[in-house]
Structure 1
Amino acid sequence: MKPNQILILLLLYIAALGGMAAFLDARRIAEPQWSVIVTTMLGSLLVFWWYWADSVSRSYRRSPLLNVAIIAVGFLAVPYYLLRSRQRGQRLAAFAKLVAFVLLMVVAVMIGAMPVAMVS
């Protein structure tokens, strides 16, 4: 799967999480701990899958430490990866795309929560 396709899958996943969170919140149900763990792990795996596909498409040699960092502290490791894997003229554009994607994730959560909010 191509990196952009994985990002679309990640957005769909985030939208589903938004719907699940809205559903639980509307019924005043606390999210079970096992669900928090599973959804966090799945999200981290999707980010790692994107990182792996992107690094393969760019012929970037991944280090074992960066592999672990992408899963453990992705919010720090992804910007670092973008800095290291992009050429000088492409780094600012990569960061701008990262910011835009984070905003898309916020929108995806809101879209996922909309059906529940409209019914409640």
Structure 2
Amino acid sequence: MNSNVFSWDVLFNNVVKTIEIVHNLLSGKRKVFLDTELIYQTGYLLNLTGTDCFVIENHHCEIMISPCDMFSFDYRLMIDGKDAKSFSNAQRRKVVCWSLEHGATQHLIQFGE
């Protein structure tokens, strides 16, 4: 096998999206997919490690690839400076609002921090 595949499930605006990286270990090429749609790719790279930056829905994303040992790598996803889990948790804590009409009166119901 000459490619590593790693993925994360991340919450963006109350929708879970899958971010996946396909890392070719022979050519160094990297492809990033958002829910199976290609959103970023590199050409041939001599270095198998490093950081790839891209934007999803106005959020700055970085995938950092670092060596673990001779033949394995560690993949970390950072979104707006937070790891994927922390970013998703922060998205869950955002304010949730509903606008309801009762007769001629409009009510705003808020849940959040």
Q: TM-score range by the shorter chain?
A: under 0.3
The structure in which a higher percent of residues are helix is: 1
Structure with greater strand percent = 2
Structure with larger Rg: 2
TM-score, normalised by the number of residues in structure 2: 0.28
